[in-house]
Amino acid sequence: MLSQSQRQAAAQSLYDAEKSRKVVPQISKTYPDMDLADSYDVQRRWAQLHVGKGAVVIGHKIGLTSRAMQMASKITEPDYGHLLDTMMFRDGETIPADRFIKPRLEVELAFVLGADLRGPGVQIYDVMRATEFVQPALEIIDYRTEVPRAITDTIADNAASGGIIVGGRTVRPFDVDIRWVGATLSRNGVIEESGVSAAIMGHPAAGVAWLANKLAAQEDYLKKGEILLGGSFTRPVDIRSGDTIHADYGPLGAIGVCFR
């Protein structure tokens, strides 16, 4: 367990790494006694440093939703991070690649809540009832620490989240079978990845239910209007300056952006 001053110092180092675009040593090496509770508190403090500069927390991302990724990270549940308004990009934007250290993209679905969602005991159907609409999204993954990283490093580093891109069609959660939303991700005209949303814990709303229950243990909850990234259903694709990205979600439309 870390002291309050150690947690704050760790958050500041991650914030500074993000701003300078230079990785820092793994937090777990600097503070070998760090546990998961420490990591989430470091993440919260990192978010508050951004809020202190004018950013607004607009939601959360959920990561490590596949069993394979959990086993690789030596963890038995997903993780989560914060989404800030400064991380938001829109379909058609030109995104500065040098804002990130080593960006990668993942294909996801974004849930926008039309009602508060409080655990414990939240189930998939509760998430569906509370969701106003679902929209295609891409998450920009970016790490601010050196490798190899422990799960405590990833969580402290805002679960490796760097940005969110939304686009395509907004749909009501019961208007389509969101388990079977498929997508392809193309870079410079070549399909690099494809997947289906059922790969996210069997149902893309399952991660949102997990997060609502996780936050309940901290006397917190998911709030009306929040954007929630449910987890990736493709492997991450490396992105470089000059890349043109096209994510095709079929009936749900597409997202297209350029990195310069």
Alpha carbon 243 to its chain's center: 21
> Can you give the pLDDT at residue 69?
66
Q: Which residue type occupies 147? A: V
> Can you give the pLDDT at residue 68?
64
- Which two tokens mark 79? 């993780």
Taking Cα atoms as reference points, which of 85, 92, 21 lies closest to residue 53? Answer: 85
> Can you give the pLDDT at residue 72?
67
pLDDT in tens, 23-67: 999 999 999 999 999 999 999 999 999 999 999 999 999 999 877
Is residue 257 within 8 A of residue 91, CB to CB? The reply is yes
Q: How large is the average pLDDT for residues 149-162?
A: 96
- Which two tokens mark 99? 């804002």
Q: Which residue type occupies 111? A: F
Is residue 104 within 8 A of residue 140, CB to CB? The reply is yes
Residues in the chain: 260
Count of structural domains within the chain: 1
Is residue 158 within 8 A of residue 43, CB to CB? The reply is yes
Segments of 22-63 assigned E as strands: 57-63
The Cα 183–Cα 247 span in angstroms is 7
CATH code for position 111: 3.90.850.10
Domain that holds residue 63: 4-259
Residues β-bridged to residue 105: 140, 237
Q: How large is the average pLDDT for residues 230-239?
A: 95
The Cα 127–Cα 205 span in angstroms is 6
Q: How large is the average pLDDT for residues 142-154?
A: 96
pLDDT in tens, 76-127: 899 999 999 999 999 999 999 999 999 999 999 999 999 999 999 999 999 9
The Cα 144–Cα 126 span in angstroms is 35
Q: Is 200 helix (H, G, I), strand (E, B) or coil?
A: coil
The Cα 58–Cα 47 span in angstroms is 11
Q: Is 11 helix (H, G, I), strand (E, B) or coil?
A: helix
Is residue 253 within 8 A of residue 169, CB to CB? The reply is yes
Helix (H) or strand (E) holding 129: helix 124-130
> Can you give the pLDDT at residue 213?
98
Kindly write down the DSSP assignment for every residue of 154-180, as one continuous string: HHHTGGGEEEEEE-S--B-TTTS-GGG
pLDDT over 70 at 6, yes or no = yes
pLDDT in tens, 180-229: 999 999 999 999 999 999 999 999 999 999 999 999 999 999 999 999 99
> Can you give the pLDDT at residue 91?
97
Is residue 158 within 8 A of residue 41, CB to CB? The reply is no
Q: Is the pTM of this model over 0.85?
A: yes
